[in-house]
Amino acid sequence: MMRVLVTLLCAGVSGLLLLRFPWLLPCVLAALALGALILTWSRRVRISPRDDVHRLLRRYGRRPTDFEHYVAEIYRRMGYRVRVTRRTGDSGRDIEMRRDGRLYVVEVKLYSPGERVGREKLQKLQGAMIDADAHGAVFVTTSGFTRTAVDYAARNGIELVDGAALEELIRAVLSA
């Protein structure tokens, strides 16, 4: 948000100066190009062959919402059209993705390996899937799932991606 405000302020000041000093046009264009580069640079997701659960926890521990963009990039490379939802009011889903005309909803949780995702979080995801009239749901976490969560997912068609499966997905998209 701060980058957007700084970019807009720079553009506004540059516009006013342009009226007084027409030779500033090249400078204004350069500033706008630099601002656009700064805005898009932060969203670039780098997937590395060295990425594992511990490295992801260190990289995204303070900004777990950026981890949603990381997971979205994995699915984008797998051929899905992906959209990360808003940070708040996401209706129980962090990512919406489409392939072959079908909608899938994804919930992403950056948890330490000892922490387990329980059935309650899967029920919320299933509600989001029904609400969005989605074809399927995927729950991605850096940790694991409780036994009741695994049973619930199997009965309700929710795909579970734990830390080990996530590491396999990373290797798969990098080797493709």
Reduced to 3 states, what is the DSSP secondary structure of residue 104? strand
pLDDT less than 50: residues of the chain: 42
- Residue 160's pLDDT is 98
31 lies in the same domain as 59: no
pTM: 0.75
Average pLDDT, the chain: 87
The count of structural domains within the chain is 2
- Residue 90's pLDDT is 61
Q: Considering the domain boundaries, does residue 63 fall inside one?
A: yes
24 lies in the same domain as 78: no
Backbone angles phi, psi at 116, to 5 degrees: -115, 145
12 lies in the same domain as 84: no
- Residue 21's pLDDT is 72
Q: What is the tens place of the pLDDT at every residue in 73-109?
A: 999 999 999 999 986 656 679 999 999 999 999 999 9
Alpha-carbon distances of 32 from 4, 10, 111, rounded to whole Å: 11, 8, 39
- Residue 37's pLDDT is 59
Q: Considering the domain boundaries, does residue 46 fall inside one?
A: no
Question: Structural domain of residue 60, as residue ranges?
Answer: 53-175
